[in-house]
């Protein structure tokens, strides 16, 4: 009963947006590729208490720029722990295009920050459910 009520409330609230979307050209969800989220956490070689600029991150930065230039990375950046006296980077997140989960894991495994032990990471599949309609595919 509660689920049905919640669904009705969402349908009523979304009504105007759905009406606007009905006037827009139809978008195929098949064109939206799977995106993978790589979540990094500091690893055993991370210099605890040192800011990001004092970590040996040069090869990782070069690797990230390469992924971005190839159109494989949608976005990336550090996560920051803001508890305590000074904010400190405690990992990072990458939104990555890949042909499959195995490829996304291989991209993470090849990251110099992973091989050096600066980060440990995990890859999760992210299915895009809401989007402004901007293309997620690489530019042609």
On average, the pLDDT of the chain sits at 78
Percent over 70 (pLDDT), the chain = 71
The residues that bridge with 38 in the sheet, in sequence order, are: 94, 123
* Rounded Cα–Cα distance for residues 89 and 57 (Å): 12
pLDDT of residue 49: 82
Q: How long, in residues, is the chain?
A: 140
pLDDT confidence of 25, banded at 50, 70, 90? very low
Domains of the chain: 29-126 (3.30.70.1060)
* Rounded Cα–Cα distance for residues 119 and 9 (Å): 43
Least confident of 1-10, 21-30, 59-68, 108-117: 1-10
pLDDT tens column, 86-133: 788 889 999 999 999 999 999 999 999 999 999 999 999 998 887 777
Enumerate residues 6+ apart whose C-beta is below 8 A from 42.
48, 89, 90, 91, 118, 119, 120
């Amino acid at each position: 009963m509660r689920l049905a009520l919640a669904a009705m409330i969402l349908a009523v609230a979304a009504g105007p947006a759905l009406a606007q979307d009905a006037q827009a050209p139809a978008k195929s969800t098949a064109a939206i590729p799977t995106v993978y989220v790589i979540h990094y956490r500091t690893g055993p070689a991370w210099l605890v208490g040192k800011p990001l600029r004092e970590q040996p991150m040069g090869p990782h930065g070069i690797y990230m720029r390469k992924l971005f230039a190839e159109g494989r990375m949608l976005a990336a950046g550090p996560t920051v722990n803001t508890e305590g006296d000074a904010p400190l980077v405690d990992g990072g997140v990458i939104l990555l295009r890949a042909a499959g989960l195995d490829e996304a894991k291989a991209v993470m495994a090849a990251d110099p920050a992973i091989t050096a032990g600066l980060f440990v990471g995990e890859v999760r599949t992210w299915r895009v459910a809401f989007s402004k309609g901007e293309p997620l595919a690489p530019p042609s």
